[in-house]
Amino acid sequence: MRRACHLSRSLIRASRSLPEEALGAASALLPDAGHVLSVAEARCREDRQQQHSEYASVSQPHLAVTQGWNLLHRNQPVDPFSLVKEEIESVSERLRRSIFTGIPTLRSAAEYFFKMGAEGKRLRPTMLLLMASSLSAYVPSPDFLTVDDRPPNEHPSEERRRQQRIAEITEMIHVASLLHDDVIDNAEVRRGLRALNSVFGNKIAILAGDFLLARASVSLAALRNSDVIQLLSQVIEDLVTGEILQISSTDEDLLSLDYYVRKTFHKTASLMANSAKAVAILGGQSVEVSELAWQYGRHLGLAFQFVDDVLDFTGSTLQLGKPALNDLHSGLATAPVLFAVEEHPQLRAMILRKFKSEGDVELAQQLVFDSNGIQRARDLAAEHASLAAQAVQSMPPAVTEHAMLCRQALTDIAARVLTRKK
Amino acid sequence: MRRACHLSRSLIRASRSLPEEALGAASALLPDAGHVLSVAEARCREDRQQQHSEYASVSQPHLAVTQGWNLLHRNQPVDPFSLVKEEIESVSERLRRSIFTGIPTLRSAAEYFFKMGAEGKRLRPTMLLLMASSLSAYVPSPDFLTVDDRPPNEHPSEERRRQQRIAEITEMIHVASLLHDDVIDNAEVRRGLRALNSVFGNKIAILAGDFLLARASVSLAALRNSDVIQLLSQVIEDLVTGEILQISSTDEDLLSLDYYVRKTFHKTASLMANSAKAVAILGGQSVEVSELAWQYGRHLGLAFQFVDDVLDFTGSTLQLGKPALNDLHSGLATAPVLFAVEEHPQLRAMILRKFKSEGDVELAQQLVFDSNGIQRARDLAAEHASLAAQAVQSMPPAVTEHAMLCRQALTDIAARVLTRKK
């Protein structure tokens, strides 16, 4: 609850840091916004003892702020995903075209997770295009909503096109790492589909991952910006380091939350952090602002993963698109378990033997539910979501109303990550 | 023999295209060089019927030319590898340091093929440093023979250091592709050592490959040259394409020499071609000269692979550092088999079933030996070695004697590739 209130407060601060004239206009249209925020603060205090309910209290004031903006701009609730939906469709289509290869097997494999309906949440490209707009002095021209049909190795000179390429490259790197991880973990299901390795075999899955990395490198090179190339190359290294940290940990590492957070940064947050920074750099932002974009991506990535850890316990296979309790079955002790072990020391031996003894998974699940592990993992996620929101708030004032709206959407994404169900 | 004579003639032409004053100096010191060349041409004609002996006749005039230069410069035979030996040692040492990582498992795996004694022939870095020198107006300063200790992501501004980085990056990409190929092919032996996958397991081998690719990308980005970044990124894609072409061929593909040559370009020659071009670009060369460097690398790579195919039939396990008849056992029909099938149509069925029936490997081996397959594969290799030499000869006149010596060494490497035993 403490963390959730922290987040609420930071969202409230966000609304307070808005330019006075915008706030005035919002108040005129939505005179109760300030009241809703105060009520939310009070509710936060009241709710301190109430477990498992913070997400509602977080989202209420937040929605109020969002709706204030919506009333100001559109008279309907803002969905951060809908704000860039059309552009995301065009980036997705370009992505499908840019991984074209004349070799049928490779094409089928590479396309597998980019086909319509199999693209996942597209959180990363959405976040990146919102970041681009939130730092821009212009509303993107409709020209940039069409599919950019130039080949991957052709240099795009237009700022927005370059930023779209980062969204595309980021998805390619992300999917490449999923493909290799799934081979390594012998995964059978991903995004509600059979994992690529279980359809095409390990060989093709390894090569399709390599191909996506290679195509990403070619696209990246075409941007001709060394800092950006270096940031995204570092991501690939971080993804590998994260996976290695996961599979080669000592007993001490397995029980360490710090080690777990470090691994999570490498496996999940580095891609979001570095790609967000790349978008800021391509938008001509200063070192300081680019660093705030990095911080936003980092905290969003960490929040995202800690919620993922919780969902592995609380979600169903159908909801998740992958087996529930997948982490325990794979031998992984994630945040909820690492918190729970403080209350139930008998988890220690199970963590070290990677839940491989008969009945381990069920007992570990029970002990986690019979502890504050889930709650503390949620708190940790909420803390990072709040820090993500703070990074956006620390940016210099937005230049256009559209940019303000996009910043609000970035804050909203951080809150939505907490309440997601899959 | 025809191809071998072709090569001899092209080597002879090489000596004729030397600047007059250099040739004059060489003749003064080695009055018999012209005679040796004529004798070699005559011997070529005499030897047309003699099988399996063309390498001696190739290397004679070649050695004579080389020795002419040696007498001119050092009074001892030039070994192309010794010409850049010290610098190669320093590049190798830098490579070992630059793949350092704080994660012990990853470090052991990544270092595995870069440890002293396990580095292989280092053909690629040797060729690249010779290419760099052969196009330079300067003999590299001794300062550049020390190990460049800057981290991979630090930008080197000195031309020679940048070219050394290409040698380093090329080796990283090469070894990364070996690691993934060995997982895909379930290889057990490589460079006379156990294959990495059989020591550390497939997971670590996949990740070590990814790590090397990532570190290569970071180093590449630090060069801050978009054309060069693009060339080497293309190589990674070509390596994947080559492997996919190998494992996903149709019946028609399996029997097609064209398909085989295309696959070989992707798997072997692209890396040599693009890295040689990258060195030329970093050396400030024109598009035309950079293209000649690319051609040299391409033909050298093709020659190298066709000889590799022959050695798989004629070499012993001990000589090769990997099992003899490895290709047949892996189900691969290489150049000698694809030529032999024209004389022995019963090979066709064996190729299509990938030599998987009892006795296939032995019978295929016998049929290949009982055909002109080996010879024609050697001829094909010799043709490409000759084209590699021609690319060097087509370059504008070398500016220094050292550059001339390095060009000679490049030609010499092309000839040595034909006579190598492992």
Q: Does A160 touch chain B (CB under 8 A)?
A: no
Q: Does B253 touch chain A (CB under 8 A)?
A: no
**Rounded Cα–Cα distance for residues B142 and A37 (Å):** 70
**Rounded Cα–Cα distance for residues A42 and A257 (Å):** 32
Q: Where are the domains of chain A?
A: 1-78, 79-419
* Highest-scoring range by mean pLDDT, A38-47, A49-58, B401-410: B401-410
**Rounded Cα–Cα distance for residues B263 and B243 (Å):** 8
Q: Does A203 touch chain B (CB under 8 A)?
A: yes
* Highest-scoring range by mean pLDDT, A234-238, B118-122, B138-142, B379-383: B379-383
| B208 within 8 A of B215, measured Cβ to Cβ | no
Q: Does B155 touch chain A (CB under 8 A)?
A: yes
In which band, very low, low, confident or very high, does the pLDDT at A65 lie, cut at 50, 70 and 90? very low
Q: What is the mean pLDDT of residues B229-245?
A: 90
ipTM over 0.85: no
Testing the interface with B: which of A173, A217, A234, A235 to mutate, by most B Cβ within 10 A?
A217
Residue-wise pLDDT tens digits, A268-277? 999 999 999 9
pLDDT at residue A115, rounded to an integer? 75
The angle subtended at Cα A345 by Cα A343 and Cα A350, nearest 5°, is 125
What secondary structure does DSSP assign to A277-333, as a single string? HHHHHHTT--HHHHHHHHHHHHHHHHHHHHHHHHHHHHS-HHHHTS-TTHHHHTT--
| B153 within 8 A of B100, measured Cβ to Cβ | no
Residue B126 has pLDDT above 50, yes or no: yes
DSSP A149: -
Q: Does A98 touch chain B (CB under 8 A)?
A: no
Q: What is the mean pLDDT of residues A181-202?
A: 80
Testing the interface with A: which of B100, B230, B234, B270 to mutate, by most A Cβ within 10 A?
B230
Residue A49: how many CB atoms within 10 A of its CB? 6
pLDDT at residue A359, rounded to an integer? 94
Structure tokens at A132: 């681009």
Maximum pairwise Cα distance, chain A:
64
What secondary structure does DSSP assign to B111-179, as a single string? HTTTSTT-STT-HHHHHHHHHHHHT-SSPPPGGGGS---S-TTSPP-SHHHHHHHHHHHHHHHHHHHHH
A chain contacts of residue B220, beta-carbon cutoff 8 Å: 229, 233
**Rounded Cα–Cα distance for residues B410 and B422 (Å):** 19
Q: Does B108 touch chain A (CB under 8 A)?
A: no
Q: Residue A193 forms beta bridges with which residues?
A: A190
Cβ of A106 within 8 Å of Cβ of B183? The answer is: no
Residue B191 has pLDDT above 80, yes or no: no
Calculated CA dihedral for residues B123, B411, B238, B230, nearest 10 degrees: 100
Cβ of A226 within 8 Å of Cβ of B184? The answer is: no
**Rounded Cα–Cα distance for residues A214 and A176 (Å):** 10
pLDDT at residue B317, rounded to an integer? 65
B chain contacts of residue A103, beta-carbon cutoff 8 Å: 241, 244-245, 248
CA distance A34 to chain B (A): 49
Residue B3 has pLDDT above 50, yes or no: no
Tokens 């997601």, residue?
A: A420
Residue-wise pLDDT tens digits, A115-155? 767 677 889 999 999 999 999 998 888 889 889 988 888 88
Q: Does A233 touch chain B (CB under 8 A)?
A: yes
CA neighbor of B207 nearest in space, from B199, B197, B198 = B197
Testing the interface with A: which of B99, B103, B197, B203 to mutate, by most A Cβ within 10 A?
B203
pLDDT at residue A247, rounded to an integer? 81
pLDDT at residue A195, rounded to an integer? 81
The structure's pTM equals 0.76
CA distance B215 to chain A (A): 7
Cβ of B248 within 8 Å of Cβ of A105? The answer is: yes
A chain contacts of residue B274, beta-carbon cutoff 8 Å: none
For B363, the 3-state DSSP assignment is: helix
Cβ of A236 within 8 Å of Cβ of B213? The answer is: yes
Architecture per CATH, domain B79-419, reads as Orthogonal Bundle (1.10)
A chain contacts of residue B213, beta-carbon cutoff 8 Å: 210, 213, 236
Residue A74 has pLDDT above 60, yes or no: no
Cβ of A215 within 8 Å of Cβ of B226? The answer is: no
Q: Which position has the higher pLDDT, A376 or B153?
A: A376
Q: How far is CA A94 from the centre of its chain?
A: 21
Size of interface A-B (CB pairs under 8 A): 137
CA distance A286 to chain B (A): 20
Cβ of B180 within 8 Å of Cβ of A210? The answer is: yes
Residue B82: how many CB atoms within 10 A of its CB? 13
Query: How far is the CA of A221 from the CAs of A172, B219, B320, in angstroms?
Result: 14, 13, 37
Q: What is the mean pLDDT of residues A36-58?
A: 33
Average of per-residue pLDDT values in chain B:
80
Cβ of A230 within 8 Å of Cβ of B221? The answer is: yes
**Rounded Cα–Cα distance for residues A39 and A8 (Å):** 11
CA distance B135 to chain A (A): 26
* Smallest CA–CA distance from A205 into chain B, residue: B184
Residue A220: how many CB atoms within 10 A of its CB? 30
* Dihedral pair phi/psi, residue A84, rounded to 5°: -120, 20
Residue B136: how many CB atoms within 10 A of its CB? 21
Q: What is the mean pLDDT of residues A357-381?
A: 96
pLDDT at residue B347, rounded to an integer? 97
DSSP A394: T
What secondary structure does DSSP assign to B11-44, as a single string? HHHHHHTS-HHHHHHHHHH-TTHHHHHHHHHHHH
pLDDT at residue B185, rounded to an integer? 77
